[in-house]
Chains A and B, each alone.
Chain A
Amino acid sequence: MSSPALSCQGLHKAYGGVRAVHGVSFHVSRGEVVGLVGPNGAGKSTVVDLISGEQPADTGTVKVADRVLSGTAARRAKRAKLARTFQYPQVAHELTALENVLIGAYATTFSGPLSFASTIVRGLVDPRAERLRRRAEEMAGSLSLSDLDRPASELTLGQLRLLEAARALSQDPEVVLLDEPFAGLDGDGIQGLSRAIRTMADAGCAVLLVDHNIDIVVSLVDRVVLMADGEVRFDGDPAECMASEEMKEVYFGDD
Chain B
Amino acid sequence: MSRLARWRTPIAFAMLILVVLWVGQNGYRQDLAILMVTYGLISLGLYSHYIMGNSMSVAYNAYVAIGGYALGVLCVRTDLSMFLALPIGIVISAAVAVLLGLTTYKLSGFYLAAVTLLFGEAFAAWLVDSTGITGGASGVTLTRGLTLFGSEVTRQHLVIAALVTLFLAAWGLDRLRTSPFGIALRAKGDAPRAVESSGVSTRALTLVSLGIGAGLGAVAGWYFAAVNLSMLPESVPLSVAFVALFIPFLGGYRSPWGAVVGAVVVTELTFNLTWFQDTGTLAFAIAVLVVLIFARRGLLGLLGDVLAWAVRLIRRDGPLHKEGRDHVQPSA
Report which A residues bind B (CB closer than 8 A). 52, 54, 72-75, 77-78, 83-84, 86, 90-95, 99-100, 102-104, 106-111, 113, 116, 119-120, 122-124, 126-129, 132, 164, 167-168, 171
Contact = CB atoms under 8 A, between A and B. Distances in A.
Contact of B182 (A54, A78, A91, A123): A123
Interface string B4-23: 00000000000000000000
A132 B183 CA distance: 13
Contacts, number: 125
B265 interface: no
Interface string B178-217: 1111111011011101111111111010001000000000
Contact of B197 (A54, A100, A126, A128): A54
Contacts of B176: 120, 123-124, 127
14 contacts: A75-B201, A77-B197, A84-B197, A90-B194, A90-B197, A92-B190, A92-B191, A94-B189, A103-B187, A110-B204, A120-B179, A129-B179, A129-B180, A171-B199
Contacts of B177: 127
Instruction: Kindly list the 3 A-B residue pairs having the minimum CB-CB distance in the complex, ordered from nearest.
Output: A123-B179, A106-B180, A77-B199
B183 A102 contact: yes
Interface string B155-190: 000000000000000001001111111111011011
A99 B183 contact: yes
Contact of B198 (A99, A126, A171): A171
A104 B196 CA distance: 10
B215 to A, nearest CB: 12
A86 B193 contact: yes
Given A72-B201, A168-B198, 12 more contacts: A74-B196, A77-B199, A86-B193, A90-B197, A92-B190, A92-B194, A104-B198, A110-B200, A119-B179, A122-B180, A127-B178, A127-B179
Contacts of B194: 86, 90-92, 100, 103, 164, 167
A74 B183 contact: no
Contact of A132 (B172, B180, B189, B204): B180
